Structure 1
Amino acid sequence: MAHIGTCYNCDMKISELGEFGLIDILADLIKKDDTESDPDILIDAGDDTAAWQSDATVNLTTVDCLVENIHFDLDKISWQELGWKALAVSLSDIAAMGGIPKYALFSLALPQETNVEDVAELYNGILELGQKYHVRVIGGNISKAPVLFIDSIVYGVTEAPNIMLTRSSAMPGDEIAVTGYLGAAAGGLKIISNDLVLANNLKMPLTTALNKPSPRIGEGQKLAADGVKCAMDLSDGLTSDLNHICRASRVGAVLNVDTVPVHPALKTAFGDNALDMALSGGEDYELLFTAGHDIMEDIKKQLDCPVTVVGKIVADDNCRITLLDGSGKIYTPSGKGWNHFG
């Protein structure tokens, strides 16, 4: 059996290495496989989607996997909501690149006692969101498994070859901003996991953010068209995802935690814990991006959703992130963001 490259840390368990350490190893092996070099491939691993050149446009492809009892509990989410979310998480990756989603494929692994009606409701959720963003489901696969697995593959394009957002384009001096409000999904997860009783005006926006997120497709396209170069979607939590940008761009960051736009319902429901939930809760599927001041001011005027500047990119080869409170003191959050094997 031929080996493409040396696998460092392969004597470790995944639980010791962590999700992102495993991704680094696999990405390194992919990059060492230069036997089939293709000049049309622009990005193969390490960003929100892969990207390759085709005629007058750039193609984007992303894949996500949702696993029962890891990513969702069927006692806490409807099959229709689950279908919506399965497509939404992949559409959010396309949004993070400034792309236009086109087609989707789904691979399902199902316990054999699953009701057909439930699977139909799953697809109703997929198709409902697909219709909203003009995304067609063009195929898939079905297999048997002890628990439910849903793999989503989404294909999209950019409006032009030179208009694409990446994680590796942040520059020292850039301002750091996010769309919308953060932490709602983390609040929704805490509510359904602990069967918390809250007023409906607090519960609904938080649980909806978790189970039926809305990807920022149009916003991503506007960012790319207006000159933003660096972005990603917020799936793992603000601090964790900002770390991904810093590592990809070889820069550091200063994050002013008092400026983080915590969701109003989260503040009311969880009080002093809300900020840390917004910093590290994950699954917000908002956009995190960086740009110079003038572009950022223009973006605030262009987008219909809130845009909040939360920090600045700084020169730092060690890719460190410093969190400061309103008085300029170091702030240490209680959470670390989502990591599958952490």
Structure 2
Amino acid sequence: MKVSELGEFGLIELLAKIAGQSKDKTVLIGIGDDAACWRTEPCAQLATSDSLIQDVHFTLSTTTWRELGWKALAVNLSDIAAMGGFPQYALVSLGLPGDIEVASVAELYEGMAELARLFDVSIVGGDSVGAPVVMLSLAVVGRAQKNQNILTRSAAAPGDWIAVTGYLGASAAGLAMLRRGLELYEKDKEIAATLREAHLKPYPRVVEGQALARHGVKAAIDLSDGLVSDLNKLCKASGVGARLFTYQIPVHPMVRGSFGDDSIKLALSGGEDYELLFTAQNEVIDKVMEAVPCPVTVIGEIVAEPKTVKVIDEHGNEVKLEKEGWEHFAGGGV
């Protein structure tokens, strides 16, 4: 059945069933009314939104509907994670061509619902409209730590070390693999599956972000547009500069093994790793390393020289990059 045959209200009813009745006792009114309603705790609230548009952020030839749903929510949860918060509620707006199969939209919602359950996020409302291509716009609302320590881009200070969670470059490598039709990895299904998942099903570092805030980190950003690009944003907001050491960057082992010399470029500029980059003093980073379930690597230092990020290789030479990361309105796309 096509979306045009089911109609808007039939589609909303179906998606409400997939999202499920919220078990969160703070939710008073969920999907189906003019607006969602929930009871808030006496603490700071966080809100974010992100959009994904067909043939700009994804193509249906390489992405399943379930993966698309997962990623659409994941990129929003990553923003809440970057501020050390607890995601709670999601609102989902869909733009759909009328000839899309209802089963496809159901799979998309199932992908979102799967990730939402992992982090106790309630899908409480949204909208659906006709559109020339598939468009998703999500808003996520959450709360800050009860100690009110909210991570921001503007709190880095000279003398801080720069650290990052997890490994870098896998998402960009996965995208490169998909663009090449998997031909580089036909003989190694494990590499193909791992890199594909890194790009299409990123895992937001929500627990890690909460640990950063709990242990005294002040400055952080999630890596959506690329390591150098996002570090530049943090430095600009904080009025500081940075030195980034290429030989300390935790490139994903499968990327290093498969892409050789290009692997460091993917880690520096590839984007969409959705790891957390943060700055802090040594003793704070040590506490974070003990508290989080993933690797944490120190990759550079914050310096007083404002708004300059220098990338330094193992010989002490500055590396000039052709591209720092993804930027809308600068050309490109999937």
TM-score by length of 1: 0.83
2:270 to 278, 281, 293: 281
2:282 to 290, 293, 311: 293
Kept in 2: contact 1:230–1:290 (CA 8 A): yes
2:192 aligned with 1:203: yes
In structure 2, the residue matched to 1:253 is 242
In structure 1, the residue matched to 2:136 is 150
2:154 aligned counterpart, secondary structure: helix
Identity across matched positions, percent: 49
Distance of 1:87 and 1:153 partners within structure 2 = 9
Displacement of 1:201 in angstroms is 1.6
Kept in 2: contact 1:56–1:161 (CA 8 A): no
Gap runs ≥5 in structure 2? 1-39
Displacement of 1:55 in angstroms is 6.6
Displacement of 1:202 in angstroms is 1.1
2:188 aligned with 1:188: no
Displacement of 1:161 in angstroms is 5.2
2:253 aligned with 1:267: no
Distance of 1:126 and 1:162 partners within structure 2 = 28
User: C-alpha offsets along residues 224-266 of structure 1, whole Å, 9 cap, x if unaligned?
Assistant: 0000000010000000000000000000000001110000111
In structure 2, the residue matched to 1:216 is 205
Displacement of 1:268 in angstroms is 1.2
1:258 aligned counterpart, secondary structure: helix
Displacement of 1:204 in angstroms is 1.1
In structure 2, the residue matched to 1:327 is 315
Displacement of 1:327 in angstroms is 1.2
2:162 aligned with 1:176: yes
Equivalent residues in 2 for 1:119-158, closer than 5 Å:
119-158=105-144
Kept in 2: contact 1:182–1:261 (CA 8 A): yes
Letter in 2 for 1:69: D
In structure 2, the residue matched to 1:69 is 55
Displacement of 1:196 in angstroms is 2.8
Distance of 2:238 and 2:324 partners within structure 1 = 21
Displacement of 1:335 in angstroms is 2.5
TM-score by length of 2: 0.85
Q: Across the two proteins, how many residue pairs are aligned to each other?
A: 288
In structure 2, the residue matched to 1:236 is 225
Kept in 2: contact 1:277–1:335 (CA 8 A): no
Kept in 2: contact 1:58–1:161 (CA 8 A): no
2:243 aligned counterpart, secondary structure: strand
Distance of 2:44 and 2:147 partners within structure 1 = 5
Letter in 2 for 1:130: A
Kept in 1: contact 2:145–2:213 (CA 8 A): no
Distance of 1:152 and 1:94 partners within structure 2 = 13
Distance of 1:55 and 1:104 partners within structure 2 = 17
Kept in 1: contact 2:157–2:303 (CA 8 A): yes
Letter in 2 for 1:236: D
What root-mean-square deviation, in Å, do the aligned CA atoms of Structure 1 and Structure 2 show? 1.0
Displacement of 1:56 in angstroms is 3.0
Structure 1 ranges of 4+ moved more than 6 A: none
Aligned CA distance change for structure 1 residues 55 and 139 (closer, same or farther; 3 Å):
closer
Displacement of 1:194 in angstroms is 1.4
Aligned CA distance change for structure 1 residues 264 and 334 (closer, same or farther; 3 Å):
farther
User: C-alpha offsets along residues 162-185 of structure 1, whole Å, 9 cap, x if unaligned?
Assistant: 211000000000000000000000
